[in-house]
Structure 1
């Protein structure tokens, strides 16, 4: 990658979490929020050598702890902060209600400080890819604002835009708003519950369960319904000329990707044994950060296209055989990154192995080792490394 350019920035929030464990123990000032998790996902996928190409943008209050800022600096990313001395930092309370960490509730303890394109410094404004967790009406405001600011700054190339919807906004009455916002981004990525919510379909949390739909009262497997709804949603948006990609994150079922130009494929998760899963908090955000930087890296291998950003958009919109393989490869890389996030509460443990060929480890394993295992299983070794 170009060592002088920022590859990825999230417009999500960094939240200082107050974690209440089932044992009664309380952990304070934990790093969380979609901005932090997606940044971490991009950083794991990028690796230590190119860590500076991952941007971390934080809108903080007067009470933002130096320990949290230092933890992010230690990752080697490009950290930029805007501090509002009149406000408290974004803080949340995450309560785990059972020993399996499946039942949890979250609420904000302070008024959230949501980053906007207007606050981005120029080095981050010029990033090749952005992640956002927003309701559709905010996408309709922030994407044009981002593009306008880039144009004013002399940045003419199109960025890769990855949009993750807000869960509570994914209802049938908001379907048209989501379709309209889709047309402004490159990748739309709801999880399977959010996708089903847009269609008003009963939600289940088990792969083994079936879904009963009305008015036909038809019973289908959850995976079948997910793929059918994804095809219907993509068809509705693509009919109006959208050339992007839909990536449905589906927990233990893996994910399903479908593009307007014909790519349609399911991907297994890295961990098939659900006993390994401790806490899935942040896994979806990390997946999308890794997906974004992996698509950018793949696009940079495509000579002859006007810009790296435009190459990403073209790769998603017009997947020739080689491009389809590269998109699949990016999704495999993102799935590997998510595997590190779900193995513990909070951030995965990062260590470095000494020696000439030493590699960065997360939870005692390397990204490359897991990638090679999963790429071999997924494609028989056909994916590029």
Structure 2
């Protein structure tokens, strides 16, 4: 059973709700472009027009794009648990299964509400935690690549469960939970404890500097220092710091550090960065599968994966040629030519 799937995430399925308000918190009446209308037409009949409800959750974007277009892997090579509360819209399950029903493991939670997040950045509701034990005995158990996003303390619990499974040695891709929650200096001791078990550590720049008590805002020099420090603290394979318009900085002990530029860094193309980090890391996992675990090659796939996510609120539009009418392979070639 070990390695039956290429990639599984322990991230939660979240239905995002987007609101638009001015500096005083008053609704602006702003809509969310054609993406909003697409989801409303296909999924959201009868839902309030005061909120834009789009599906945007941990690494879903990159499941389809990175694996089905880059790696040409069928849906049964990727997986995610979807916890369905009693309010779960049945139309969403129908749409998800169109991408490949075998990638989803739906779990009914009749006594609970479906996890939702309010993207006004004033708060969210996230109740159900997913751990490696939830994969045991299921079609998702023992994947080759395992992604998780949580606090350092929680990461220690996850890795203890991974290490308790005989013969399972996945590539672990750890994304610390965002600033303002657990990427704080007080979590650094817990992070030090778990880093020797982590294959790839990938915070964003603000998270990295906050954990190490470095000054903000980030710049390339401080980001490089932070990445070197995390490597020194014991990360097994690589540190990748996702740095927005500056791109991404990767460092390993045997090949040194390198910057990879962002595919887009202009206001015309960067519409909404929600989910970009998740898509980046899913694309990274796809790149590892394709390249035979060459992480310096995989980071190009990661960057392209994120480029589609930031072009609109919510999910990219799936087309016959790729996403948003563009081919991931074309973007991959263009990005490589820049370097």
TM range (shorter): 0.7 to 0.9
**Aligned with 2:282 (options 277, 289, 307):** 289
| Other-structure match for 2:152 | 136
The answer to whether the 8 A contact 2:153-2:187 is kept is: no
Structure 1 residue 6, shift from structure 2 partner: 1.6
Q: How far apart, in 2, do the equivalents of 1:272 and 1:135 lie?
A: 29
Contact map agreement 2:142 2:168 (CA 8 A) in 1:
no
| TM-score, scaled relative to structure 2 | 0.84
What's the offset of the Cα at 1:59?
2.1
Deviation of the 1:29 alpha carbon: 4.2
**Is 1:54 aligned to residue 74 of structure 2?**
no
Alignment of 1:1-385 (within 5 A): 5-22=4-21, 23-24=28-29, 25=31, 26-34=50-58, 38-47=59-68, 49-52=72-75, 53-76=77-100, 78-95=103-120, 105-108=121-124, 110-120=125-135, 121-148=137-164, 150-151=165-166, 156-167=167-178, 168-204=181-217, 222-237=219-234, 242-299=235-292, 312=293, 326-352=294-320, 360-378=321-339
1:347 and 1:122 map into 2 onto residues whose CA distance is 27
Q: Where in structure 1 are there 5+ consecutive unaligned residues?
A: 96-104, 205-210, 212-221, 300-311, 313-325, 353-359, 379-385
**Deviation (angstroms), 1:228:** 1.2
Cα deviation, residue 295, structure 1: 0.8
**Counterpart-to-counterpart distance in 2, 1:275 and 1:28:** 21
Confirm or deny: 8 A CA contact 2:286 2:301 kept in the other structure. Answer: no
Q: CA distance change for structure 1 residues 56 and 162 in 2, over 3 Å: closer, same or farther?
A: same
For the Cα contact (< 8 Å) 1:160–1:186, is it kept in 2? yes
User: 1:36-65: CA deviations, max 9, x gaps?
Assistant: xx1321321112542311212212212211
In structure 2, distance between residues paired with 1:175 and 1:143: 17
Instruction: With the length of structure 1 as denominator, give the TM-score of the two structures.
Output: 0.74
Aligned to 2:34: none
- 8 Å CA contact 2:61, 2:309 repeated in 1: no
Higher strand share: 1
CA deviation digits over 1:207-226, x for unaligned, max 9? xxxx7xxxxxxxxxx11111
2:186 aligned counterpart, secondary structure: helix
Q: Residue 96 of structure 2 aligns to a residue in which SS?
A: helix
Unmatched segments (≥5 aa) in structure 2: 22-27, 32-49
Deviation at 1:157, TM superposition (A): 3.7
* 2:119 alignment partner, SS class: strand
**Structure 1 consecutive aligned stretches of length 4 or more whose deviation exceeds 6 Å:** none
| Alignment RMSD (CA, Å) | 2.0
Measured after TM superposition, the shift of residue 106 of structure 1 is: 4.3
